[in-house]
Amino acid sequence: MNPAATGPDRVLFYPPADARQDGPYSEAHAGPAQAAADVGGSVVPSDADAPYGDGSATALVMVYPVPVEDVEAILAANPSLGWIQLPFAGIERYVPLIRKRTDIQWTSAKGVYAPPVAEHALALTLALLRNLPERVRATGWGPGGGTTLNGLNCVVVGGGGIAREYLRLLKTWDTTVTMVRRTEDEVPGADRTVTQDRLDEVLPGADVVMIAAAATDETRGMIGAQQLELMDPTAILINIARGTLVDTDALVSALAAGSIRSAGLDVTDPEPLPDGHPLWAEPRCLITPHTADTPQMCIPLINARSERNLAARAEGSALEGRVDAEAGY
């Protein structure tokens, strides 16, 4: 199908309602279903016996991440499929299929979850600066301490929605912020923007380093032993992107040696982080279980994007969150 073709869609929601998880996913996408009808489209019936519908779907809206094999099966069963809405911004598992099927319009959730994820990154930042990991474990009064964000030098790795929202939050304080991104385009509001190949130049002297870049072959292990060694002993590291961007063994060693002050992680490699892993026992590491964007927060946000994209398809206008197959996000 020509990816530029538009019009009211026959929308398949996957997985079918009777196969979805309990809780917030069970009623997911009632809004997009109504949005499809509002622009003259319709919903392709599906259930456990016919999970890929009747073969007439022109659009697929995924309720939550599913195996790539399922998406391939849906594509094979629905030859007129021209658009797929992915539910998350981190789409690395789907990139090989996206690169193979460039005849499809692929959109992701990039930028959609920026407010809650940036809020979580800020929470981790403030917790580390105020020594909360140690205080949570304390059994006595102990010494005081803590650092304010005012006057700090912050490095934000990434140029997307989460990075920009975190930048906006940082600017509530008197901070100096350097953005590190793939392209040379200046990020509005930043004090400086540099390209990714200059990361090592900006790490020395940084008080806060926050990772919000996409997970690609290029960014895998971008924070390794060398980068951690370049950071000041008073610096904190925050990762709300993907665990693969940070070399876990190198981080364990850096924390144990006091090469950096502390780390706040919402993502790890491996994930989930196994019981007994050294990071669990590290008193200066704060770990949350990939909860910067919970289903309760995310479903209304991704539904709104799906609704806007359904209307855009019907109108023949540009879709939000178009995937860059070559870049991998």
Closest-CA residue to 133 (of 282, 297, 246): 282
Give, as one character, the DSSP assignment of residue 146.
-
The beta strands (E) that lie in 208-253 are given as: 208-211, 236-239
Do you find a cis peptide bond into 115, omega within 30 degrees of 0? no
Contacts of 187 (CB under 8 A, 6+ apart): 159, 163, 164, 167, 179, 181, 193
Structure tokens at 22: 């309990």
Closest-CA residue to 181 (of 197, 195, 170): 195
- Assess contact for 58 and 80: CB atoms under 8 A: yes
Q: Assess whether 271 carries a catalytic annotation.
A: yes
- Assess contact for 235 and 206: CB atoms under 8 A: yes
Q: Assess whether 164 carries a catalytic annotation.
A: no
- Assess contact for 260 and 236: CB atoms under 8 A: yes
- Assess contact for 131 and 155: CB atoms under 8 A: no
- In the sheet that 176-181 helps form, which strands lie side by side, from edge to edge? 192-195, 176-181, 153-157, 208-211, 236-239, 262-265, 285-287
Select which of 130, 277, 290, 308 is catalytic. 290
Q: Assess whether 277 carries a catalytic annotation.
A: no
Select which of 119, 271, 277, 282 is catalytic. 271
Select which of 20, 164, 242, 305 is catalytic. 242
Do you find a cis peptide bond into 15, omega within 30 degrees of 0? yes
Three-class SS state of 256: helix
Length of the chain: 329
Q: In degrees, to the nearest 5, what angle opens at C-alpha 279 toward C-alphas 243 and 116? A: 45
Which of the residues are catalytic? 242, 271, 290
